[in-house]
Amino acid sequence: MDYDFKTAAANYEDAMIADLKALVAIDSERDTDNATTDAPLGPGPAQAIKHALAMAQRDGFTTKNVENVAGRIELGSGNEILGVLGHVDVVPAGEGWTTDPFKPEIKDGKMYGRGTADDKGPVIAAYYALKILRDLNVPLNKQVHMILGSDEESEWYGMDRYLASEPTPDFGFSPDAEFPIINGEKGIASFLVSQKRVAPKQAATTLTSFSAGIRPNMVPVSATATLAGTIPADFADQVQTFAMTNDVTAELTPTDRGVSITLVGQGAHASTPAIGVNAGTYLAAFLINSSLDLDPAAMAYLNTITAYMHRDTTGKLLGINYADRKMGELTASPDIFNFSQDGKQTVLINIRYPQGTTADQIRDQIESTIGDDLVTVTIDGHAQEPHYVPESDPLVQTLLDVYTEHTGLEGHEMIIGGGTYGRILDRGVAFGAQMPGAPDIMHLPNEYIKIEDVVRAAAIYADAIARLAK
């Protein structure tokens, strides 16, 4: 029997808009500083999980809440489980918005707000795919579990807790990337470079603090340094000359002891650092090359950043550049900078690496290149290994067929540096909802999703689930 998924999705457009607006309005950034027993990841992620499950209960679906950090919406029956894995958490809103990131607005057919594209818009599309299948009485011979996590942008705690007590799907997809399909993902690991203590020496100027970055998977938009002591008379001119010649902006503010300088670059997702302008490395490069007579700890810290990280997104300066024929080049993105004279003196580098190398090899090489007498390097958190599902797999072929039939565009495999829940499953991929050629605005200010893309994705997902679960 043929089903008109496109018309069914179009009939739900207004409802999708309303539900997406309500979900985007929840600031679901991880906030463990305000965690409670009922909200282990903070109030926002817990609220988003409960809201999504309440939406499904409103519509008559069976749901399961796992500790307010993950949830499940169910459809169909059978021995096998098809997983549809999305997330309702978001990265911090950050700077540079022209609208309120948590008061979604629709302009020119686009809904603006943090999480619209990553991943609340695709989640709504996938949820309405389940509604469409139920409305049309499409027979499903497998269980369909739509599983929602609330910590995908950080440590995947929510999904870990879910899988500890609930059944793991046999195969599935994550609506958290782009079409036509993502069947390969590079390995992901963050490396904390910690500077060893440097012997003090009298200097005219002291770097009292240096900070940039808010999350390991975001290229820092801004960086700030505070300086105490002697400031050259032409320092303001040096700052503006550097800003004008390096496509950044800078602001100098006098303080009681010296000055504070804030430099603003361009944010990007850490999987595509080349499209950003890393404020942290640019500020370090300016300071190390200025006429300041800086203290030794500052000189060592800024020199490490400038010599081994500045304007290099492939890891060549660190000696870790590596490429695989299928997965492409390694990318390196220094994303969190912390320096104080008596505290941390660290840089956290987020690295996406292809098959053929390992996180341990990368750690060893970074430390060797910079010098183990100067720094220690540790893997921060859990390293995720590269993931690949062959293009010949029936899962991949079915999804590509659905994509081509709905768009008229040829489907093909793709491998990315980003990480999705698809990699949780041995036979797991990412599938939409971003259309080919669309600008990558995930993690950026003024994030948006086209309403027509949400509706089209709902139809594509409904068709895909119908075929995979038949």
Distance CA 270, CA 272 (A): 5
Tell me what the mean pLDDT of segment 444-458 comes to: 96
Element of type H or E holding 331: strand 331-340
pLDDT digits (tens, 9 = 90+) for 113-153: 999 999 999 999 999 999 999 999 999 999 999 999 999 99
Q: Which CATH number fits domain 188-384: 1.10.10.10, 3.40.50.300, 1.10.287.1080, 3.30.70.360?
A: 3.30.70.360
Q: Of 174, 159, 162, 176, which is closest to residue 82 (Cα–Cα)?
A: 174
Distance CA 9, CA 462 (A): 9
Instruction: Report the CATH fold assignment for 5-185+388-468.
Output: Aminopeptidase (3.40.630)
pLDDT digits (tens, 9 = 90+) for 282-296: 999 999 999 999 999
Q: Which of 27, 67, 89, 185 is catalytic?
A: 89
Mean pLDDT of 207-216: 96
Of 152, 329, 335, 463, catalytic: 152
- Is 185 an annotated catalytic residue? no
**pLDDT average, residue stretch 99-103:** 98
Nearest to 108 by CA among 99, 119, 120: 99
Q: What pLDDT, on the 0 to 100 scale, is given for residue 440?
A: 84
Band of pLDDT at residue 94, cut at 50, 70 and 90: confident
pTM: 0.87
- The answer to whether the beta carbons of residues 35 and 162 sit under 8 Å apart is no
Question: Amino acid identity of 299?
Answer: M
pLDDT at position 468 over 80: yes
User: What residue segments make up the domains of the chain, in order of their start?
Assistant: 5-185+388-468, 188-384
96 compared with 281, residue with greater pLDDT = 281
- Name residue, tokens 């895909």: 464
Residue pair 159/151 in contact (Cβ under 8 Å)? The answer is yes
Specify the length of the chain in residues: 470
Share of the chain above pLDDT 70, in %: 100
Instruction: State yes or no: is 152 an active-site residue.
Output: yes
